A and B are shown apart, each in its own frame.
Chain A
């Protein structure tokens, strides 16, 4: 089974987000299982505070699709389950 390192996955995920103008604070990965019982990888985009509304529509959707596509093209066999989370703004 071919798997990319977490660092490679994060690098690809950040590149896809940047290409779609998605403002990402960080990308988190975690091992997971998909619905078939196969090994999967959960990828969470932590968005900068207040930016989730701006990515609704094509920007978010393209980011998910292109990330899945690019990981597959690089031989990643685990299915990536892509999620978003908005970072909570620090209180001043």
Chain B
């Protein structure tokens, strides 16, 4: 079964809420919050391609694992501005909340890189809790988007323009 984004976010909550949370706790909490979004998107893409009834099949795993972090980051970065540059598909109603989702996702990705690797930064409990909250909001915004917007985003995530 794919990793459950809700479980990852609850894991983040627990790390951030620990009495005397260490830098390791807070950094792992921020990282897990990003990974909640990452696995949410992978599942959404695989579900769109193959349906929701086949998560244990090789085909589902093939689609699920075809998306890497740089691919997701690159697409999200293309939706940074009000007028997305050089995208293959633009929904008739625009990207709406999917663009907000994309901006939060790329921010959390860069945040997670700092949390995972950057020795010069310290993280606070408060900022960690806000980051977890932002991850939840990003997923909610994606889910609240129109099907056309979701499909446009996921199709561009799965297939490269030539």
Contact = CB atoms under 8 A, between A and B. Distances in A.
B43 to A, nearest CB: 21
Interface residues of B, number: 29
Given A81-B114, A84-B130, A65 B100 contact: yes
Given A57-B133, A79-B110, A81-B110, A69 B127 contact: no
Contacts, number: 79
Interface of A: 34-36, 40, 47, 52-53, 55-58, 60-62, 64-65, 68-69, 72-73, 79-86
Interface in B66-80: 70, 73, 77, 80
6 contacts: A34-B113, A36-B70, A56-B129, A60-B134, A73-B82, A80-B107
B126 A86 contact: yes
Contacts of B127: 52, 83-86
Given A61-B100, A83-B127, A68 B80 contact: yes
A85 B126 contact: yes
B111 A83 contact: yes
Interface of B: 70, 73, 77, 80-83, 99-100, 103-104, 106-107, 109-111, 113-114, 124, 126-127, 129-130, 133-134, 136-138, 141
Contacts of A82: 107
> Which are the 5 A-B pairs with shortest beta-carbon distances?
A72-B81, A61-B137, A52-B126, A56-B133, A72-B80
Given A61-B100, A64-B107, A35 B126 contact: no
Given A57-B137, A85-B124, 11 more contacts: A36-B70, A52-B129, A64-B104, A65-B100, A68-B107, A69-B99, A72-B80, A73-B81, A81-B107, A82-B107, A86-B124
Interface SS of A by simple majority: mixed
B133 A60 contact: yes
Contact of A52 (B81, B110, B130): B130
A26 to B, nearest CB: 15
Contacts of B126: 47, 52, 84-86
Contacts of A47: 126
